[in-house]
Structure 1
Amino acid sequence: MKAAPADQKRLLDLAEIDSVIDRLAHRRRTLPELAEIDELAARVARLATQVIAAETEAGDLAREQAKAEGDVDSVRTRAERDQKRLDSGQVSSPKDLASLQSEIASLNRRQSDLEEVVLEIMERREAADAQVAKLAAERDELAASRGAAEDRRDAAFAEIDKERAEAQERRAAVAGGIPADLLSLYEKLREQFGVGAAMLQGGRCLGCRTSLSIADLNRIKSAAHDEVVRCEECRRILVRTPESGL
């Protein structure tokens, strides 16, 4: 392939712009905020699951407490009814009177036992409610931290995208001045190797950092100025300049 030396040198400008674009893309993919957001999202999800479990336990205890309190009320109502019968003097038979007094005593003991159960459930429920509040507060704090990290990510994305758009404009201007066949070869090599063209400096390819052999340097030295030469190691286009050492 033939191309004017000036057009070949434009490939170095294009390669430099492409390097900037690649660095911006890498920076966008590897922003520290991305890993931070993923970690925070995972922690928020775990805490959300723990909150649901704690809320379920607290709900079960609330229902258990309501049932126990209902049992206390039922026993208390029966005891109060029996006490009224006893106090009214309606029961005159000694046997029935003793039976009624025994039932009242039994109901009072039952009520006392049930009230102990209620107190125990209330303590457990209070602890469960406190755990729900603690976990929910941690979840909300982490969610806020994730939101802040997302804001930082979005700000960084906006900055990177702006720089990339500016670089793309510069690239289009440079690429527009390069012959189509030379540009096509450059793009093909860039797709294969990441870099399509590199400077030959001091007898070394700056693309693969390899020092060329004497034979290769003589071959390139004897090539016409408009001939497009390639590095034998990395196959990139070698752009000759006064710094090439030929």
Structure 2
Amino acid sequence: MKAAPGAQKRLLDLAGLDAALDRLAHRRRTLPEIAEIAELTTRLGRLATQIIAAETEAKDLARDQSKAESDVDAVRARADRDRKRLDSGQVSSPRDLTSLQSEIASLQRRQDDLEEVVLEIMERREAADAKTAALVAERDEVTASRDAAADRRDAGYSEIDKDADGTGRKRDALAAEIPGDLLALYTKLREQSGVGAAHLQAGRCQGCRTSLPIAELNRIRTTAPDEVVRCEECRRILVRTPESGL
């Protein structure tokens, strides 16, 4: 393939713009906020599970407390009825009187036990409610942090996209000045190795950093300036300039 030396030199500028676009794309993919948002999102998922568990525990305890309080009320009501019978003097038989007094004492013990159960459940419920509140507060804090990270990420995207847009326009304008066949070869090589053209500088390919053998340099030295030469090692287009050491 043949191409004017000036057109070949433009490939170095094109490669520089492509490298800049690659760096911008890499920067966009690796913004620190992306990893931060992912970590915070994972934390929010764990917190959501923990909040559901804590809320479920609190609801179960509220139901247990309600049942225990109902049991206390039932025992208290029965004991009150027995006391009224006892105080009314309706029970005259010593045997029935003893039995009634025994039942009242038994009901009092039962009430005391049930009230202890209610108190224990209340304490556990308060702990569950406090845990839920703490988890919800943590969730809100993490959500705010994630939102802030998303704002920073989007600002980073905007800045990078603006730079990429400007660089891309320069790249398109430059590519339009390069002959189609040379540009097609450059594009093909770029797709294969990431870099389509490299500077031959001081006898060294700046693409693969390989110093060319003397015989190869002598061959290139005798090659016509408009002949497109390639690096034998990496197969990239070698662009010759006064700094090539030929």
TM-based fold match above 0.5? yes
1:184 corresponds to which residue?
184
> 1:118-174 deviations in whole A, cap 9, x for unaligned?
111111111111111112212221121111111111110111111111111111100
Q: What is the letter of the counterpart of residue 30 of structure 2?
A: T
Give 1:25-64 correspondences, 5 Å limit. Answer: 25-64=25-64
1:78 corresponds to which residue?
78
Hey, what's the Cα distance between the residues in 1 that align with 2:74 and 2:67? 10
Q: What is the letter of the counterpart of residue 240 of structure 2?
A: R
Hey, what's the Cα distance between the residues in 2 that align with 1:199 and 1:117? 85
Aligned residue for 2:199, secondary structure, equals strand
> 1:39-82 deviations in whole A, cap 9, x for unaligned?
11111211221111111111111111111101000101111111
2:150 corresponds to which residue?
150
Aligned residue for 1:36, secondary structure, equals helix
Structure 1 position 91, deviation (Å): 2.1
> 1:155-206 deviations in whole A, cap 9, x for unaligned?
1011111111111111110000111100000000000010000111111111
Q: How many residues were matched structurally?
A: 246
> 1:213-237 deviations in whole A, cap 9, x for unaligned?
1111111111111100001111000
User: What RMSD over aligned residues (CA atoms) do the two structures have, in Å?
Assistant: 1.0
1:122 corresponds to which residue?
122
Hey, what's the Cα distance between the residues in 1 that align with 2:234 and 2:128? 67
Between the aligned residues of both structures, percent identity stands at 75
Structure 1 position 93, deviation (Å): 2.4
Give 1:1-246 correspondences, 5 Å limit. Answer: 1-246=1-246
Aligned residue for 2:208, secondary structure, equals coil
Hey, what's the Cα distance between the residues in 1 that align with 2:88 and 2:171? 105
> 1:80-101 deviations in whole A, cap 9, x for unaligned?
1111122222222222222222
Hey, what's the Cα distance between the residues in 2 that align with 1:116 and 1:193? 77
Hey, what's the Cα distance between the residues in 1 that align with 2:108 and 2:27? 75
Q: What is the letter of the counterpart of residue 219 of structure 2?
A: R
Hey, what's the Cα distance between the residues in 1 that align with 2:207 and 2:106? 96
Hey, what's the Cα distance between the residues in 2 that align with 1:159 and 1:76? 73
Structure 1: unaligned runs, 5 residues or longer: none
Hey, what's the Cα distance between the residues in 2 that align with 1:245 and 1:72? 101
Aligned residue for 2:185, secondary structure, equals helix
Q: What is the letter of the counterpart of residue 129 of structure 2?
A: D
* TM-score, length of structure 1 as denominator length: 0.97
Aligned residue for 1:243, secondary structure, equals helix
Hey, what's the Cα distance between the residues in 2 that align with 1:145 and 1:219? 62
Structure 2: unaligned runs, 5 residues or longer: none
Q: What is the letter of the counterpart of residue 181 of structure 2?
A: D
Q: What is the letter of the counterpart of residue 238 of structure 1?
A: L
Hey, what's the Cα distance between the residues in 2 that align with 1:90 and 1:141? 67
Hey, what's the Cα distance between the residues in 2 that align with 1:116 and 1:153? 55
